[in-house]
Structure 1
Amino acid sequence: MPYLNIIQKIAVFALPILFAITVHEVAHGWVAKKLGDPTAMMLGRLTLNPLKHIDPIGTVLLPLLTLWLGGFIFGWAKPVPVTWENLRHPKRDMALVAVAGPTANLVMILLWAILLKLSLLLSPSNYWLAQPLILMSGAGVIFNSLLMILNLFPLLPLDGGRVLAGILPGPLSYKYSKIEPYGLIILMFMLFSGVLGYILFPVIMAFLNAVSSIFDFGQILQFVMQILFGYR
């Protein structure tokens, strides 16, 4: 089994992370534009240039910290601005804009899984090319799964929280929205206390096992996780 130092791990994860957060945020802005709000477009955020979406803490510092600590990579991008009042049906459309991000991650999971399947066909005759492609595409499947499932967690300001706020009756939605100013603090506490992992880890593993079954990956995703995270 190959050993990867921290620099090699960053090289493996850089492209999947940048694609994941960029497409996720652009999806929010694109759906918002279709539903009547051009804010993201006017601010130049409907672009696949990752520099427009990088958050110094969420995109750089926190992923590096969680990678160095040996856990699953955690992070976020700079949120795409949405002016809810511009949406044609603000309450309903808020939920649709929110769900666009995780949907984009699901599409990327499928694309990375296809690349992983093709990479496995190269091995072992072209091992020098197959190994980095297997690790990178496997990382793409894993990180997009993490990002999708995390964002579906029903806590504002995560996408799942916005979906819940969009489907709750008006008075309940209003009361629930008052959590948002404290949502990031709650999320950080849950992350570093281990509560978030306790809740989400079984869901993530069940989803990755389902992907492995659909694409007949066998133990390859577990192999990638063991190399990148030390997971067994």
Structure 2
Amino acid sequence: MNDTLYQLATVAIPMIVAIVFHEVAHGRMARLLGDRTAQDRGRLSFNPLRHVDPVGTVFLPGMLALAHAPVFGWAKPVPVDVRGLPHPRRAMMIVGAAGPAMNFALAAVAAVGIGILARIEPGAGLVAQFVFDNLVNFLVINLSLACFNLLPLPPFDGSHIVEGLLPERAANAYARLRPLGLPIILVLLVVLPWLMPAIDPVRALLVQPVSWLGEHYLALASLVAGRPLDA
């Protein structure tokens, strides 16, 4: 297989799975709390075609991975309407937290899978290597996606968690920043690093927690493998 296509496949497949499960987790948690919006629009399905954005879910992450840049992406957001629920702000906090929680759980599944495959002899073949590479990327992508979405900036999940934790007056003031969320993200992700390459606040906030979590998930993989695994 062409090396570029191989790399794209080992990024695109885990990225699609991670994002689809992330979005479905939001919708299913909303349904559990009483909001049927996602269910009525057929968005609780794990069918990737209902969630994948060709640019944000496949093309952009693949290009970033090939360029050895931080990988991130997005999907078609699952529609949620908690305004009719008791304590809607708290409900939205729980719905928002469900996506990253799902990614942390999927990272644990990836770690177990890595540990199991590590027990297979090196000569197991191309298929086993392909699965192993997908699992490694699946682990990193899920941890990155979870931490990225926990940033306390609109429209990320972290902003809903912050709103749910703040007192009402402070939460209302914070919510007024929501229309500014996209410009703020563009400045932090694109403009600031381009103007001042030495300053990359988002990457600085993400690299350390993702690395720290990766070490602990790798420890789980080593435990399953029965031997230490290299980072």
Query: Is the pair's TM-score, using the shorter chain for normalization, greater than 0.5?
Result: yes
- State the SS of the aligned residue for 2:83: helix
Matched with 1:50 is 48
Does the 8 A contact of 2:221 with 2:229 survive in 1?
Answer: no
- State the SS of the aligned residue for 2:46: coil
Instruction: Structure 2: give runs of 5+ residues left out of the alignment.
Output: 194-199
Q: Which amino acid aligns with 1:177?
A: A
Pair 1:203 & 2:209 matched: yes
Output aligned runs, 1:100-111, within 5 Å.
100-111=98-109
Q: Which amino acid aligns with 1:195?
A: P
Q: Which amino acid aligns with 2:219?
A: S
Pair 1:10 & 2:8 matched: yes
- State the SS of the aligned residue for 2:72: coil
Cα deviation digits, residues 154-202 of structure 1 (max 9, x gap): 1111111110011111111111112222212322332232321112111
Matched with 1:71 is 69
Deviation at 1:219, TM superposition (A): 4.8
Tell me: CA distance 1:188–1:60, structure 2 relative to 1, closer, same or farther (3 Å).
farther
Does the 8 A contact of 2:151 with 2:158 survive in 1?
Answer: yes
Distance 1:127 1:61 in 2: 28
Pair 1:159 & 2:160 matched: no
User: Which of these residues, 202, 218, 222, is aligned with residue 212 of structure 1?
Assistant: 218
Cα deviation digits, residues 26-62 of structure 1 (max 9, x gap): 0100110111110000111000001111124321342
Does the 8 A contact of 1:106 with 1:144 survive in 2?
Answer: yes
- Comparing 189-198 with 45-54, greater Cα deviation is found at 189-198
> Over aligned residues, Cα RMSD in angstroms?
1.9
Does the 8 A contact of 1:105 with 1:145 survive in 2?
Answer: yes
Distance 2:62 2:169 in 1: 40
Output aligned runs, 1:90-129, within 5 Å.
90-129=88-127
Does the 8 A contact of 1:123 with 1:130 survive in 2?
Answer: no
- Comparing 26-35 with 211-220, greater Cα deviation is found at 211-220
Instruction: Structure 1: give runs of 5+ residues left out of the alignment.
Output: 223-232
Deviation at 1:128, TM superposition (A): 2.8
Alignment size in residue pairs: 219
- Comparing 56-65 with 10-19, greater Cα deviation is found at 56-65
- Comparing 209-218 with 134-143, greater Cα deviation is found at 209-218
% of aligned pairs identical?
Answer: 33
Cα deviation digits, residues 63-96 of structure 1 (max 9, x gap): 1332232212111111111112132321211111
Q: Which amino acid aligns with 2:202?
A: L
Q: TM-score, normalised by structure 2?
A: 0.88
- Comparing 67-76 with 107-116, greater Cα deviation is found at 67-76
- Comparing 115-124 with 99-108, greater Cα deviation is found at 115-124
Q: TM-score, normalised by structure 1?
A: 0.88
Does the 8 A contact of 2:11 with 2:61 survive in 1?
Answer: no
Matched with 1:173 is 171
Distance 1:35 1:9 in 2: 40
